[in-house]
């Protein structure tokens, strides 16, 4: 799958516990990720986080959902797991911060190699 490196970067979703923290991450987000088929090229990644603990990933921003997953928040962290469309369905744990600028997620641990990028940190803005 040509989007595997980008998809692994993705979930890096770092969210907090409780309904208040969960509501901070719910919504539509965007970032740029490497295009696995073109050296040095970047593509948009649209992320939809639903209140029912489900997320969708759209690589390229074309409206097609390539990956779906589930998440839970607790103790200032988000626990994520891709369930469809991904070659790796391992669990990931990320710390997150949501502010006026957007959302930043930082990897604590992840069973999927490469998810969260080389530094384990991703920044998103609201769509």
> Structural domains in the chain?
4-126 (2.40.128)
Distance (Å, whole) CA 23 – CA 82: 20
Q: Where are the beta strands (DSSP E) in the chain?
A: 27-34, 42-49, 54-59, 67-74, 77-84, 91-99, 102-110, 121-126
Q: Who wins on pLDDT, 21 or 67?
A: 67
pLDDT (0 to 100) of residue 12: 40
CB atoms within 10 A of CB 80: 28
pLDDT, tens only, 3-41: 544 444 544 433 333 445 667 899 999 999 998 888 889
Question: Which pTM was predicted?
Answer: 0.80
Contact 46, 127 (CB under 8 A): yes
Alpha helices by DSSP H, listed for the chain, are 4-10, 18-25
């Amino acid at each position: 799958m040509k989007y595997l490196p980008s998809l692994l970067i993705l979930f890096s979703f770092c969210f907090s516990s409780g309904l208040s923290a969960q509501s901070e991450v719910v919504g539509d987000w965007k970032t740029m990720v490497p295009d696995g088929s073109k050296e040095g090229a970047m593509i948009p990644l649209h992320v939809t986080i639903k209140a029912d603990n489900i997320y969708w990933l759209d690589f390229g921003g074309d409206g097609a959902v390539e990956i779906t997953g589930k998440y839970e928040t607790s103790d200032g962290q988000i626990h994520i797991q891709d369930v469809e469309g991904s070659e790796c369905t391992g669990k990931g744990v990320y710390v997150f911060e949501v502010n006026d600028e957007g959302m930043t997620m930082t990897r604590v641990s992840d069973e999927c190699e490469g998810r969260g990028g080389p530094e384990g940190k991703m920044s998103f803005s609201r769509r």
